[in-house]
Structure 1
Amino acid sequence: MSGASAVNGKVVAITGGARGIGLATAKILHGLGAKVAIGDVDEATVKEAGADLDLGFYARLDVTDRQSFTTFLDDVERELGPVDVLVNNAGICPTGRFLDEPDEVTARTIAINATGVILGTKLAAQRMVKRGTGHIINIASLAGINGVPGIATYCATKHAVIGYTDTARMELRGTGVHASAVLPTLTNTSMIDGVASMPGMRNAQPEDIAAGILRLIEKPKPRLIVTRQASVMMAITSRLPQRLSEAVTRAMNADRIFADAVDKPERRDYEDRARHS
């Protein structure tokens, strides 16, 4: 793979690394010679994943807690060396009408998806700026650009990730530290259990996002949309007036895919984990 030389020997820390996009990224980068560390709030699963991949470091991590995040980065650097790349991937996506969403679910989603990314970016940047090198890659979403009924708070947090990453990148200019945002389309992880695909659009696989992260490490850029098909679609719809763009979304039935998934049996396990674990 073309990015092998770019990651070989680099220390890469990944939050939410026990499954999904985080785990796929760990697999690819570890296979290319990176020294990978994963953290996840699900202690049992992160230990199983880390042991299966024979990673250099893996541990429980609560991205909403400064001490937990600080300890995680301290331990990674003690075991593997200074962190070259932090992938802020941890996130949840509870579904439901915003009018029906309990306040504690709203607060939890914001704490993990937005505050956790902000905290990780700050803690990593503080270390990286002192060394004059590093790369922070924050996993956002196309939902951070276009609203999606049924996941209002998730959309808000991904808007926040994009805005924060863009601004941090500008403030870091000249320090040797890069900041990038990844905007995936619907990706086949448990986060979209019970959610229909958008007509005419291919879902991404976690490995597609991992490959995009690899490309960013090789050649940093401010934003990366995955997949290419989704990038082309965004380039077209972004030029449309908002009402027309929303009409296109409705015509594709994309405004129903999360709203209609709320009570599906196949989504219950994910919803329980997202809301309570």
Structure 2
Amino acid sequence: MARKTIDLRGEVVAITGGARGIGLATATRLTRLGATVAIGDIDEPRVKAAGEDLGLTVHSRLDVTDPRSFEEFLDRVERELGPLDVLVNNAGIMPVGQLTDEPDEVTRRILDINVFGVIVGSRLAARRMAPRRRGHVINIASLAGETFLPGLATYSGSKAAVVGFTESARRELRRSGVCFSAVLPTFTDTELSAGTPGTRGMRNAAPEDIAEAIAALITKPRPEVRVTRAAGLMSASQRYLPRRVNDAVFRLGGMYEAFTSKVDTEHRRAYEERARATR
């Protein structure tokens, strides 16, 4: 994605899941563009190291499934940096595998982090922003939330929920001064996609591609953006095509096996253990 000249000086931005991947790339990009950035992440040592590397004032442990933890994080952001302008709900996990093999605790964990965490963060942020009639909540969904992939049934469902929630919240708060946007990335070269082949004939996104899209959204809000453009067009076209055509596209792209039989389980082991860990 070509980079535009963007000036975010004065914007206070909080990012969840900011210790690695898309969250860290976004924090890096927005900091370079002049924004005042805070990051939170469940991995306390990693978020501390990332925050110190970027020279951030606020970098702290954040459990997005705990409303008290989320509120304390936003309280600290506003106490030390000023009123919150933008919240990027980025934290998420993507365990892969057959639905029939998925333990209940993993299902619950996906929904708690990917859906409940987004709803909690959006609500807490909107409560702070609406009285000022200014603010922007950006929720990171996924193209998997509209392409519905084998091996990612619960994850796809969670991201579809984020898309639906974000659009509903956008409409509900349209006169409040608070903007809501959903970002739908294709498979991105982070730990979430480790050991998976992606879509045949389509490139994965880089975390920096998503970061650039988020920066552009802050300066010019839109309800929804898909990244990459090619993957987004292919995903959006599905709703207009007969099911048998979509199924054929899935087969040609190797998507029936990408998150089932074609997964390199050894390459993915470390991520899966962390993503599936219960606290």
Give the aligned partner of residue 106 of structure 1.
107
How do 1:190-201 and structure 2 match up within 5 A? 190-201=191-202
- CA deviation map 1:204-223 (0-9, x unaligned): 00000000001110110110
Residues paired across the two proteins, number = 276
Any conservation in 2 of the 1:261–1:267 contact (CA below 8 Å)? Answer: no
Q: Matches of 2:16 and 2:5 in 1, distance apart?
A: 21
1:8, distance to aligned residue in structure 2 (A): 1.2
Any conservation in 2 of the 1:95–1:261 contact (CA below 8 Å)? Answer: no
1:271, distance to aligned residue in structure 2 (A): 0.1
Other structure's SS at 1:38 match? strand
The one-letter code matched in structure 2 to 1:37 is A
How do 1:168-183 and structure 2 match up within 5 A? 168-183=169-184
1:263, distance to aligned residue in structure 2 (A): 5.8
Any conservation in 2 of the 1:3–1:218 contact (CA below 8 Å)? Answer: no
- CA deviation map 1:37-58 (0-9, x unaligned): 0000000000000001101210
Seen in structure 2, the aligned counterparts of structure 1 residues 235 and 161 have a Cα distance that, compared at 3 Å, is: closer
Q: Matches of 1:275 and 1:181 in 2, distance apart?
A: 25
Give the aligned partner of residue 47 of structure 2.
46
Give the aligned partner of residue 215 of structure 1.
216
Other structure's SS at 1:183 match? strand
Any conservation in 1 of the 2:185–2:228 contact (CA below 8 Å)? Answer: yes
Q: Matches of 1:185 and 1:262 in 2, distance apart?
A: 17
- CA deviation map 1:238-264 (0-9, x unaligned): 320123212211222112111135562
Give the aligned partner of residue 9 of structure 2.
8
The one-letter code matched in structure 2 to 1:118 is I
The one-letter code matched in structure 2 to 1:95 is V
TM-score of the two chains, using structure 1 as the length reference? 0.97
The one-letter code matched in structure 2 to 1:141 is S
Q: Matches of 2:197 and 2:34 in 1, distance apart?
A: 36
Give the aligned partner of residue 29 of structure 2.
28
Any conservation in 2 of the 1:3–1:214 contact (CA below 8 Å)? Answer: no
The one-letter code matched in structure 2 to 1:272 is E
How big is the alpha-carbon RMSD for the aligned residues of Structure 1 and Structure 2?
A: 1.2
Give the aligned partner of residue 94 of structure 2.
93
Give the aligned partner of residue 138 of structure 2.
137
Give the aligned partner of residue 72 of structure 1.
73
TM-score of the two chains, using structure 2 as the length reference? 0.96
Any conservation in 2 of the 1:4–1:33 contact (CA below 8 Å)? Answer: no
Q: Matches of 1:88 and 1:58 in 2, distance apart?
A: 15
Q: Matches of 1:102 and 1:231 in 2, distance apart?
A: 31
The one-letter code matched in structure 1 to 2:121 is G
Any conservation in 1 of the 2:146–2:235 contact (CA below 8 Å)? Answer: no
The one-letter code matched in structure 2 to 1:108 is R
The one-letter code matched in structure 2 to 1:27 is T
Q: Which runs of 5+ in 1 are unaligned?
A: none
Q: Matches of 2:199 and 2:137 in 1, distance apart?
A: 30
